[in-house]
Structure 1
């Protein structure tokens, strides 16, 4: 399986420089805030989003100083949404570590998220990156809409495949699409190229989310069924497909398990086995690879280059990763 460190090599220097700029962008005159942002930076993720920004810039004309602004802006806003998400979800863990709200409580976490959001907006305004501001602000708006749409549908358990795709396009794909579009914009690309890169990022974002949905039907480190989405009553693509391929009585039975017994391990396991037996996992995987292939077709319109290969490898990583 591809490793991110290998994929990153062509832009390693740029990513290292970005890290320093990202840290600097969080600085404040409040010691408590600096302690919290230092904690956040020390527990950074895989840096997939900045990699999409830099590879997209390179394939669209070349990395510029504006590209660093784009990567920092996207990462500030993404980090703000994660901090806020943990408060909304009442989650006390993020990437295996305590979340900000677990250590400093909800009120402080919300204010930290607001601060990061404001820093991102000021960064774009101070450098007159108005195209980037429009691209990323659109993504944040869609992300919020997607979360609320999912919450509305979860209560009624009536998510169709069409609504599912609308939710994940807004919730997950919009941010990756904004990374690719902002990176392309930072290289001075035409509107046509920026649109292509946005479409490319959206397809990868959808494939990425379907992969996450598939993880939920596996097992954890000690062999127990995961079923985290089931516990949260989230209706994902594997479950939607399986429910659409059984009779009304069976559909009603499974929906009842999800609604009323979603915290019982044996019932979660029964739901997972139902999805597997009715082709839900196979169908979701098929759809994931369909979006991957569509992304490859967009990249094929660009000349061969190290950055095109880097993006192709990032695409493969989204569907081959094991967590």
Structure 2
């Protein structure tokens, strides 16, 4: 049976609707241009996976309170700010099929919008004295910046190890999902041990999520033609790292040269993908992803049975089974 996000959201459907109203309110500004841009951001929102992790984690470990709504808003404000800044860094004109903020309003305004969202998130916490939530959510902002810079540095030398790869994907992706789950537990009144446990759950989900995302680059999971985007951008992900680690010195030299030329010569992308598949890189990455998936499931089993826990289990499965 194919899992649908609407069914997974069922235990917190009303709360998610209410959250959207509160989130929009949290972004309001008296500056007309800023209000227009934040309205555009709200209208092009994605699947709302992060707030969903917050609300389900709160329900599974305690109760959903006003602090839960503020925690989810804080997460979304900080996350949205990083996305706006990422699009500037990547010189990207689109996000989720829509024009990016920098494409419509140029870089100067996009930088200021990102700054506003970061400040608004921090102020939201300070206004209600949510210091614990602020501590949890500011950590991944630091981690994401460090992870992006580490990945950029390593793309120049193409010498990334498996250990460094795990550090990068933890910082860029898993740290935020970890924060979502900790915020949910903390806002719901859980004890410190449970908050940390939910953090480990979020970390495992985030690691599995990013490995799955990296596998899409190789045309796996019935998405059709390989994308090769990471290869063109010289980002070494787990399938390629594994394949290079098990290659001869001459083969490694040849493939690294192909990666360096990939942005200018598309046929090189196919050569790299062919090498990775033949070297078992895809199968290895899938096995690591499944290990993280199992870690997440094992942690959930320690929580009391509830509709919230069931939906969290389904949400984990959804992140693994998704085809885009």
Q: Does TM, scored on the shorter chain, surpass 0.5? A: yes
> Deviations along 1:152-195, whole A, 9 cap, x unmatched?
11111110000000111111000000000011000111110000
| Partner residue in 1 for 2:17 | 16
* Residues 95-106 of structure 1 mapped to structure 2, 5 A cutoff: 95-106=96-107
Distance (Å, rounded) in 2 between the aligned partners of 1:103 and 1:239: 36
| Partner residue in 1 for 2:311 | 310
Q: 1:215 to 1:28 in 2, by over 3 A?
A: same
Q: C-alpha displacement at 1:223, in angstroms?
A: 5.5
Distance (Å, rounded) in 2 between the aligned partners of 1:134 and 1:222: 39
Structure 1 residues without counterparts, runs of 5 or longer: none
Checking the alignment, whether the CA contact within 8 Å between 1:225 and 1:265 is kept in structure 2 is: no
State the TM-score, normalizing by the size of structure 1. Answer: 0.98
Distance (Å, rounded) in 2 between the aligned partners of 1:138 and 1:221: 36
| Partner residue in 1 for 2:282 | 281
Distance (Å, rounded) in 1 between the aligned partners of 2:132 and 2:114: 23
Structure 2 residues without counterparts, runs of 5 or longer: none
Distance (Å, rounded) in 1 between the aligned partners of 2:109 and 2:221: 32
Query: Do residues 83 (structure 1) and 91 (structure 2) align?
Result: no
Checking the alignment, whether the CA contact within 8 Å between 2:222 and 2:323 is kept in structure 1 is: no
Distance (Å, rounded) in 1 between the aligned partners of 2:221 and 2:263: 17
Q: C-alpha displacement at 1:36, in angstroms?
A: 0.7
> Deviations along 1:269-298, whole A, 9 cap, x unmatched?
111111111111111111101001001111
Q: 1:166 to 1:292 in 2, by over 3 A?
A: same
State the TM-score, normalizing by the size of structure 2. Answer: 0.97
Q: C-alpha displacement at 1:261, in angstroms?
A: 3.1
What's the secondary structure of 2:145's corresponding residue?
helix
Checking the alignment, whether the CA contact within 8 Å between 1:164 and 1:237 is kept in structure 2 is: yes
Distance (Å, rounded) in 2 between the aligned partners of 1:221 and 1:103: 33
Distance (Å, rounded) in 2 between the aligned partners of 1:45 and 1:225: 23
| Partner residue in 2 for 1:33 | 34
Distance (Å, rounded) in 1 between the aligned partners of 2:57 and 2:221: 35
